[in-house]
A and B are shown apart, each in its own frame.
Chain A
């Protein structure tokens, strides 16, 4: 197998959610190697980690995100793809630590104070990570102080705020104001069922993303 072939194999495994040989999903690939084995093999073959990241993982997750935006696949398939990507990423971790492979930037994400809903936030975190970003997930029910602390600990990071409850939109508004006051210049992206482009303008956030794929496009444009 040459470099192009193994890159394609990894990308296929990520796109269709084949984590490793033992994984039963997808049924059509049962018993075959998965993202885990192919990535290990690729590194042993001497394929550069940056090529695995860009040409296999990011491109595969990009296709996954596009298919999700177009409603050709749904949350479960996206999660399985993210799991396959995670299995491949495990092999690349040492190269991130050594600095041989660099990520596009840091993305701090959390569900705002007063809201415990984390599914949408987790999906965005997974897709953004799959697009080559380092994600710092602050969890749910996150207050201004925790966001601000994370921003101070990670200079240059972009921040994502999520909300599901209409009543926590007020909390989002307050957190945006607090961050803009204490950390001027930090870019803020908002998302979640009740929020909108108009609400983004109203509260002074920098961008609104209706879905995970749009979040990636926005983030990439902010560092371009």
Chain B
């Protein structure tokens, strides 16, 4: 099995997580020149505060020999059949193994954001919320890069990562994904609506294989033609 010597659950040093104020501004529809000194200082201060609250944790498992059914757009892992849809199934079709992962930064950043919202500090709450999202995305980036750097030594490549709720893969499949993971994976619970708690968590799949490729995400692959998040990149 690939990565056999790696622990299946580990914590990351929050110092390794790389987030910038530009990304937070982007989340508010702004670029650096749009922000005044007050806002820039507030964001920098909030980033430092949130880093103190974050408790990064990553849990994963690796399933070898996945059953990939392009006709029915499904992926079989152990006893579970995932309805991953056209885009995800196609991206993973050359996988020899699949990494199933879920990671979180814990509850505390989310709780701070909620507290700020309750205290009528909507801007501070929004910034905290965006920083929480950036921190957990950065954690997944860190994990993805880590897996990639470990496997490159064995000439194994990694795919893009895919999460329930995106690229046409129904969010309801979250339950199946967690059934493949170890119980109490980083303390993440899945609600009846298939959402993860703590909210600042990300789950998903990464394909591994000698012939797999990681591509830039292409909005053109998505079927939501009129989505306002859609970009024109080819």
Contact = CB atoms under 8 A, between A and B. Distances in A.
B34 interface: yes
Interface in A85-144: 86, 113-116, 119, 122, 126, 141, 143
B228 A122 contact: no
Given A75-B29, A194-B224, A165 B122 contact: no
A79 B138 CA distance: 26
Interface stretch (B7-15, B60-68, B162-170): B162-170
Interface centre among A86, A114, A115 (most CB of B within 10 A): A114
A194 B38 CA distance: 32
B151 interface: no
B193 A194 contact: no
B191 interface: yes
Contacts of B166: 165-167
B171 interface: yes
Q: How large is the interface on A (under 10, 10 to 19, 20 to 34, 35 or more residues)?
A: 20 to 34
A52 to B, nearest CB: 19
B42 to A, nearest CB: 9
B228 A86 contact: no
Contact of A126 (B29, B122, B165): B122
Contacts of A75: 28-30, 126
B126 A79 contact: yes
B194 interface: yes
Interface in B128-181: 129, 164-166, 168-172
Interface of A: 24-27, 71, 74-76, 79-80, 82-83, 86, 113-116, 119, 122, 126, 141, 143, 165-170, 193-194, 196, 198-199, 210
26 contacts: A24-B38, A74-B30, A75-B28, A75-B29, A75-B30, A76-B28, A76-B35, A79-B122, A80-B123, A114-B171, A114-B193, A114-B194, A119-B126, A122-B117, A122-B122, A126-B122, A166-B227, A167-B164, A168-B165, A170-B170, A193-B228, A194-B226, A194-B227, A194-B228, A194-B229, A210-B228
A-B pairs, top 9 by smallest CB distance, nearest first, are: A196-B226, A75-B28, A79-B123, A194-B227, A79-B122, A166-B224, A193-B229, A74-B30, A193-B228
